[in-house]
Amino acid sequence: MKNDKSKEIWNRSLNVFPGGVNSPVRAYNSVGGGPISVREGRGAYITDEDNNSFLDFVNSWGPLILGHCDKDVTAAIVDQASRGVSFGAVTRYECELAELITQNIKHIEQIRFVSSGTEAVMSALRLARGYTGRNKIIKFEGCYHGHSDSLLVKAGSGLLTFSGDISESSSPGVPDALSRETLVLPLDDEAAVKNCFEKFGDGIAAVIIEPLPANSGLLKQRPEFIQFLRDITKKYKSLLIMDEVISGFRLGFSGFCGKYSIEPDLVTYGKIIGGGLPVGAFAGKREIMKNLSPQGKIYQAGTLSGNPLAMVAGKAALGKLLHGGVYEKLDRLSGYLVKKFHDEVAPVLAGKKYYMELVSENSVFWLNITSVAGPAIRKVTNIWEKAPEVYSGIFWQLLENGVHIAPSAYEVGFISNPMEEGDIDHFILSLASAIKNS
Ligand SMILES: Cc1ncc(COP(=O)(O)O)c(C=O)c1O
């Protein structure tokens, strides 16, 4: 594969950006080597600066459910750009996108737009704390909620005993005082949640979870566990925040909450909601949302919030998702992928020193590399420590074969609407061949 231009851009990037990137996972640290430099995307494919084309399962890490350069999204952006890109004022564009969402997702009465998933979650936490008058937050090990201080916290090994310092920051720069307000629990463990509520119940503002944890592989939870969180938060008058930055508008228009009929107090969005432009949102019942400034006292604001370009892009994308038969097609492709994996990849795993399982839910999937075949894993601690090593070999062979998957064993893949069965065939053939050679 020719890569002179990508190499040259990477070297220049290393000079001007810390680690060469503007978001860590774009660097190929876990697979080794320098990244391709992407020049453009169209439909299911991206092309790099060296003119190599790749079938793209990264899709900008989830937003591009309609693939690259969807014609309706592009037309909406171009049209709006000719009328002004930002006003910092009330517009019908933000109102129309909000109505599209509130009228079609029954657990949402009011919404506020922000510019990223991180900002959405950070703001939802502040709202939960202000609304309940409590400070502590429960989050789960392996769930990523963006990089705001309260959530960059992981469990210390003594967490479950709740003695001493139970939370430890994942990053220098996060004050201990804040880490201590974040209680980190294992996924899939009702007893740990129950213990925590028994100990700290009247101090817990909210439980936040990715209901489909998709940032440490795809750790599909039992719906009963999520329902348990709904019930226990109600009992202790804490809020349940569903972080649907990935699963929102992905598992169906109303995301995980709609699919499994579990109603959150607050929900956070990002990625798909902006049609590929930088948008996040947090939303919920009027009773809670009305506490936000200027109606209430809890402050939250943004110069570019509700940005018109982003709002029209979001409206074009979500409008298509509501009416276009897109979810049916994506589910069909997802079923096809599962079947092909079973028929053509599983057999080549015989005799290998590792096993691979395809974990999927609707159009999200994960290649789970394990030491042996076993039951579905639901906790981050059950991910095989050698998975990244095996994955990096497979990653590079796929890239050589024109298939772009995430440069990390812990990241999921996304099927997009412009893909066809032939694209899935190509992926499966390339994957089977990569496994044979590794
Ligand atoms: C579940 C979840 N929440 C929050 C975020 C943060 O979103 P952003 O990267 O837009 O700040 C992400 C990003 O991947 C995410 O997956």
Q: Are residues 219 and 366 in the same domain?
A: no
How close is the Cα of 58 to the center of ligand 1, in Å? 14
Averaged pLDDT of the chain: 94
How close is the Cα of 32 to the center of ligand 1, in Å? 24
Q: Are residues 372 and 359 in the same domain?
A: yes
Give the per-residue pLDDT at 177. Answer: 82
pLDDT digit string, tens, across residues 376-424: 899 999 999 999 999 999 999 999 999 999 999 999 999 999 999 999 9
**Residue 89 falls in which region: left (phi positive, over 0), alpha (psi -120 to 50) or beta:** beta
Asked whether the predicted pLDDT for residue 165 surpasses 90, the reply is no
Asked whether the predicted pLDDT for residue 335 surpasses 50, the reply is yes
Among the atoms of ligand 1, which is closest to the Cα of residue 210?
1
Could you tell me what percent of the chain has a pLDDT over 70?
Answer: 96
Check: CB of residue 373 under 8 Å from CB of residue 410: no
Give the per-residue pLDDT at 172. Answer: 78
Which of 263, 298, 323 delimits the end of a domain? Answer: 323
Q: Which domain holds residue 34?
A: 4-69+325-436
Q: Are residues 419 and 387 in the same domain?
A: yes
354, containing H or E segment: none
How close is the Cα of 180 to the center of ligand 1, in Å? 22
Among the atoms of ligand 1, which is closest to the Cα of residue 118?
11
Asked whether the predicted pLDDT for residue 198 surpasses 90, the reply is yes
Among the atoms of ligand 1, which is closest to the Cα of residue 143?
1
Candidate from 25, 64, 118 with most ligand 1 atoms within 8 A of CB, to mutate? 118
Residue 425 known to be catalytic = no
431, containing H or E segment: helix 421-436
Among the atoms of ligand 1, which is closest to the Cα of residue 271?
10
Give the per-residue pLDDT at 324. Answer: 85
Give the per-residue pLDDT at 155. Answer: 33
What CATH number does the domain containing 254 carry? Answer: 3.40.640.10
Give the per-residue pLDDT at 162. Answer: 39
Q: Are residues 138 and 238 in the same domain?
A: yes
Give the per-residue pLDDT at 174. Answer: 81
Q: What six digits make up the tokens of 409?
A: 């064993």
Check: CB of residue 25 under 8 Å from CB of residue 407: yes
Ligand 1-lining residues (CB < 6 angstroms):
61, 116-118, 121, 144-146, 210, 215, 243, 245-246, 270, 280
Q: Are residues 219 and 358 in the same domain?
A: no
Q: Are residues 280 and 172 in the same domain?
A: yes
Asked whether the predicted pLDDT for residue 178 surpasses 90, the reply is no
Cα–Cα distance for residue pair 364/208, rounded to 1 Å: 21
Q: Are residues 184 and 226 in the same domain?
A: yes
Lowest mean pLDDT among 140-149, 250-259, 317-326, 329-338: 140-149
pTM: 0.96
Nearest alpha carbon, ligand 1 atom 14: 146
How close is the Cα of 145 to the center of ligand 1, in Å? 5
Check: CB of residue 73 under 8 Å from CB of residue 41: no
At 283, the pLDDT band (50, 70, 90 cuts) reads very high
Among the atoms of ligand 1, which is closest to the Cα of residue 244?
1
Q: Return the half-sphere exposure (C-beta side, CA atoms, 13 A cut-off) of residue 195.
A: 13
Residue 144 known to be catalytic = yes
Burial 96-132 (b: 16+ CB within 10 A, else e): ebbebbbeebebbebbbbbbbbbbbbbbbbbbbbbbb
Give the per-residue pLDDT at 438. Answer: 87
Q: Are residues 290 and 206 in the same domain?
A: yes
At 169, the pLDDT band (50, 70, 90 cuts) reads low
Nearest alpha carbon, ligand 1 atom 7: 117
* Domains identified in the chain, total number: 2
Asked whether the predicted pLDDT for residue 156 surpasses 60, the reply is no
Give the per-residue pLDDT at 168. Answer: 59
Candidate from 115, 187, 245 with most ligand 1 atoms within 8 A of CB, to mutate? 245
Which of 285, 307, 323 delimits the end of a domain? Answer: 323
Q: Are residues 184 and 299 in the same domain?
A: yes
What CATH number does the domain containing 13 carry? Answer: 3.90.1150.10
Catalytic residue, from 56, 70, 243, 423: name it.
Answer: 243
Catalytic residue, from 144, 269, 327, 410: name it.
Answer: 144
Give the per-residue pLDDT at 150. Answer: 80
Asked whether the predicted pLDDT for residue 364 surpasses 60, the reply is yes
Candidate from 115, 221, 271, 412 with most ligand 1 atoms within 8 A of CB, to mutate? 271
Q: Are residues 287 and 154 in the same domain?
A: yes
Q: Are residues 184 and 90 in the same domain?
A: yes
How close is the Cα of 117 to the center of ligand 1, in Å? 5
Q: Are residues 212 and 350 in the same domain?
A: no
Which of 298, 323, 348 delimits the end of a domain? Answer: 323
